[in-house]
Every structure is written in C-alpha cells, then in structure tokens.
Structure 1
Amino acid sequence: MLTISEFGRRAGLSLKALRLYDVSGLLAPAEVDPANGYRRYDEEQLERARRISVLRQLDMPLATITEVLAGSDEAAMIRLDRWWAAEEATTAARRATFQYLRDRLARSGTPGLTPRPVHTRDVPATKIASIRADTDQQQLIGVIVTCTDEILTYLRAAGASATVGSWVIYHGAVTPEAEATVEVCVPFDGLVDPSGRIGIRVEPAHREAYCTITMDECVYPRIMLAYDLVYDHTRAHGLPEAGPPREVYLPDCHLLPRDQPAVDIALPVLALPVHALPVHEGTF
C-alpha cells in the first residue's frame, strides 16, 4: 500500500488532483484510515492513475475520462479515437473561423458569401438513427463528429447499412453563449432497435428549401449567411416553415476539397403555391 504522497509522485498526480478524483469517483483510494482519514492506494491502481494523468494532459474532461476507463481496453480505444476525432474537427473549425474573420478584416466591404440560388425539393419519408444532444457553438463540431461515429458504429454492429449522407437538425438556436438541442441523423437500411441514446424513427416526408455551400463556407459565423439566404427566400415567396432547419452533409464531405459543394442548408416548408419558382427535385 502507498501513501497518497508516494502514490501521487509515482503516478504523476498532485495531491489536489487525487482528492478531486476521489470525490468524483474516478479514482478512489484502496482504503481510508477511519481514525485519521489518511488515504492509501494499491500499487495496482498506478496504471489507471497514469492513464488519467495522460488524458488530463490532453485536456479531456473528467466525465469523458470516466467513460473511456469504464470498460475494456478495446472499448477505451474506440472511445478515445472518437473523442480525438471530435477534438481535431473542433480545432479545424476554430482555425477556419479565425481565418474567415481575418480575411473579412483584410477585405472590408466584400461579401462574406457569394450569391447563389435557393432551390426546393421533395424529401421522401426516411428511416433514421439519431442522437439528440445539447451543445453550444464551441462544442458543436465535436458533438456532430462524435454522435455520427457512434451511430455508424452501432449500425454496422447491428448489421444495418447507412445510406447516402447524414444531417443535423437544430431544435434551437446554438450560439457561442447558449446551448440548444441538436439531433444528429443517419439514414439506414435494415432492422435496428434503439439502444442507449440512439433512437430509431422515421423522418416524415416533406418539402424543403435549400442552398448549397462548401466546407470553407460551413465555418461559423459565415454559415449563418447561408441560413439568411434560405430564410429570405422562404419569406419572399410566402413559404411557411414546416419544421426546424437542418444541415445536410454529402457522404465523406470532410474529405472533399474545401471549395467544392459539400453541405446543404435546408428548411422544411409547406407545399409551394402554383405560381412559385420551379421545383428542383432531389433526394439525399
């Protein structure tokens, strides 16, 4: 058995951190002396402690560390890879946002989004697997990446096959200051039951107005200009909204060249009146 000081030295953790991990349930001591409250740790706990130390150096939240270390090493590796992919996506998005703002400052007066048409299309009823999560703007990309990977992994394990594309439905306004609920949706073929936070449902058939943007244009706040185009179009043509807005992603859009069409900004609307613009039919 090791004292808390010796255990902390060998694990690379401070006494303050060890006390925090004890309170949070992440790393409880092997025994606590009832007389004086001294904590003692087993040498076999060193590996877990060192893993916690490494994960904290990566700035992984305690709640995520708990998930990573909860199961087998194989499960931990999957969860670690999923978290790291989300972190890299978030970093890339922040870098792109910085570059967008810098370009806007350098080219004051230029449009932030080149003009483009807004089309309409009919979307058939679609069976989807989805996860709802609350997030703010800073964590949004990571949430999308993590949830999409979780759904795809589950579908593969269940013997189902994801079909073309995926989308995210915004059930509230996601901002840098406030969280809202988003729903990450993956269409699929096959028979799959709900599991944990993954729900199975049918997205109703609907008509939607949309415009297409590139991955470069998908950066916040630039992406909001695309939403403005769609909302301005629906108002100008008297099209009542019929559901929350969504971003529809082409398959492997993150692998496409940054200046190529990759994402549709879409808004469900009621059926177009006869005098409206021609309908561009399409599916995902």
Structure 2
Amino acid sequence: MAARDLDDELTISEFGRRAGLSHKALRLYDVSGLLAPARVDPANGFRFYSVSQLERARRISVLRQLDVPLATITEILAGTDEEGLIRLDRWWAAEQATNEARRATLEYLRDRLLRPSTPGLAPRPVLTREVPETKIATIRTDTDQQLLVGVIISSVMQIRAHLDRAGAVLTGGSWVIFHGAVTPESEAPVEVCVPFTGLVDPAGPIAIRVEPAHTEAYCTLTKDECAYPRIMLAYDLLSDWVRRAGVPTTGAVREIYHPNFPAAAGSDLAVDIAQPIEGPRK
C-alpha cells in the first residue's frame, strides 16, 4: 500500500472518536452494510477507515440521534443529497404525525378517566353511497397500530410525489384499506391508496390498479375522533349497522381521508369509516 494511502487511514478508535460512533456501533453498521471499513487487516482482523468516510459516518451518527431506523438511514444515504432530503422529510413528517396521534390517544384516555360516564363517541348516522370505478396508486405493507399513522403519511407522500412526477391529476384525498386486524400487538397488511387520472407506471412499492365500483356504508368522524382507540368505536358503530341491516359485505373496511384532512381543525369532519356492502340488485 502506498504511503499516501496509509496516511489516509484511521484506526477504528480514532475514526469512532472523530465520527462520534462507538466500536459497537461501527461493527453493527459494518454487518448491516451501512458503513463498511475501507480495509480489514487479514492477519489480525483490525478495521481501518478512510478520512473520506467521516462525512457519511457523521451523518449516520446524527440520524441515529434522531432515532431514525437503520433501514431508513440506508434509504436516505443511498442516492443523491436531494433524494436523501426528500426521504428525510418524509420520515420526519411521519414521526410528527405519529407523535400527534399519541397525543390524541392520551387526551382520549384522560377524558375517559375524568368523565367515565360520558359516551366515548357521540351518536351519528350510518349512511350509504355509490362509489364509481376509480384508478388508484397504492402501497401495500404490514404494520402495527403504533406505526400505522407514520406508514400512512410516508406512503401518501411517496405516492403523491410519484404521481406528480408522472404528470397525473389527483382526484380526491386518500384512503387506507385494512386487509387484516391491525392492533398494538400484531401487524397486518394495509393498502394506502391515492386516486388519480392520467397515465402512470408502477414503480418500486407503488402499484397501479382500478378500484371497482361498489356500494358502501359509512360514518363520518372529526379529526379528533380519529385517535386510537376512540376510532374503534366508529368501527363498532358501522359493524353493528351492517349486522342489523343484514347486508353482506363485499370488501375490506377502510378509512377515507377527506382532501382537507391535513389542514383540518380537530372539530372538522375529516374521515369516513367505510365498509363495502352488497348494493341494490339491478
């Protein structure tokens, strides 16, 4: 090895000190493929890093201080700085939404402890409507209740960015189809959907399909009422209506977010809980 290369080398201790990372962290990032050493001595297994790797290591250190998952860090650092910024902003928006959802859940629990005799959800009607055939872009993934809000926010942002680049026209808000029971203890598949018109190709996790026309029963909630577990009372209301009406269901239940949802105040109507059902015979 040339002398100039040796001058550029740092031991794992010196590299860790300058990057703000421990030996344990550096070994983890090596195993995960996030930050491999520039050279490993075959005789003794000592790891050596180059000075040029310090910037990447420092970015990893800062991202870990923000509790960014390793998989997300890999995505942020995989492309250009511009692409990394988009992925970082998407993750941060999801984190903020998750924290806001936790705050709303706390407020619900405090309200139940302060006023246990009041109903958790005010009475409201269950209505029906006809939904036309709709072209949608979707991301399907598994999640639990704790990560659900973040998954929804990041997926919607990713889908809308893809549609925007393709020149598509958005035709509504967004919705989430629950293909299984999402709970705090277990994951289930969910499908995040954004309707559009135009010619768009699938890309990565984003699929393009047509949602068939259908009849659905639904009830509408305010933004504050979307907090878990209060929102589950709306699911109960809808399920009870379907059972009493004696109509067969024809698809998975879904949460439909109105176009005004991001800017809606807590008391604004912003979400429909909807269940596809068998429509009137023609």
Q: In the alignment, what sits opposite 2:13?
A: 5
Q: In the alignment, what sits opposite 2:95?
A: 87
Q: In the alignment, what sits opposite 2:123?
A: 115
Q: What amino acid is aligned across from residue 237 of structure 2 in structure 1?
A: L
Whole-angstrom distance in 1 between the partners of 2:231 and 2:190 = 16
Q: What amino acid is aligned across from residue 86 of structure 2 in structure 1?
A: I
The CA deviation at 1:165 is 1.4
Q: In the alignment, what sits opposite 1:279?
A: none
Are residue 26 (structure 1) and residue 27 (structure 2) matched?
A: no
Whole-angstrom distance in 2 between the partners of 1:244 and 1:120 = 16
Q: Which stretch of structure 1 is more off in the superposition, 135-144 or 250-259?
A: 250-259
Q: In the alignment, what sits opposite 1:236?
A: 244
The CA deviation at 1:257 is 1.1
Partner SS for 1:244:
coil
Q: In the alignment, what sits opposite 1:269?
A: 277
Runs of 4 or more, structure 1, over 4 Å off, are none
CA contact (8 A) 1:215 1:254 kept: no
Whole-angstrom distance in 2 between the partners of 1:156 and 1:98 = 36
Deviations, residues 108-150 of structure 1 (Å, cap 9, x unaligned) = 1110000000000000000000000100000000000000000
The CA deviation at 1:272 is 4.4
- Matching residue within 211, 226, 236 for 1:218: 226
- Matching residue within 136, 146, 159 for 1:151: 159
Whole-angstrom distance in 2 between the partners of 1:214 and 1:133 = 26
The CA deviation at 1:252 is 3.3
Whole-angstrom distance in 1 between the partners of 2:257 and 2:236 = 19
Whole-angstrom distance in 1 between the partners of 2:259 and 2:38 = 49
Partner SS for 2:229:
coil
Partner SS for 2:78:
coil
State the TM-score, normalizing by the size of structure 1: 0.95
Are residue 41 (structure 1) and residue 54 (structure 2) matched?
A: no
Deviations, residues 170-224 of structure 1 (Å, cap 9, x unaligned) = 0000000000000000000100111111000000000000000011000000000
Aligned residues: 274
Whole-angstrom distance in 1 between the partners of 2:111 and 2:268 = 19
Q: What amino acid is aligned across from residue 202 of structure 1 in structure 2?
A: V
Whole-angstrom distance in 2 between the partners of 1:117 and 1:272 = 20
Whole-angstrom distance in 1 between the partners of 2:132 and 2:200 = 20
Deviations, residues 202-247 of structure 1 (Å, cap 9, x unaligned) = 0000000000001100000000000111111111111111100000
Q: In the alignment, what sits opposite 1:201?
A: 209
CA contact (8 A) 1:239 1:272 kept: no
Q: In the alignment, what sits opposite 1:65?
A: 73
State the TM-score, normalizing by the size of structure 2: 0.96
Whole-angstrom distance in 2 between the partners of 1:71 and 1:96 = 36
Q: What amino acid is aligned across from residue 157 of structure 1 in structure 2?
A: R
**5+ long unaligned stretches in structure 1:** 275-284
The CA deviation at 1:254 is 2.3
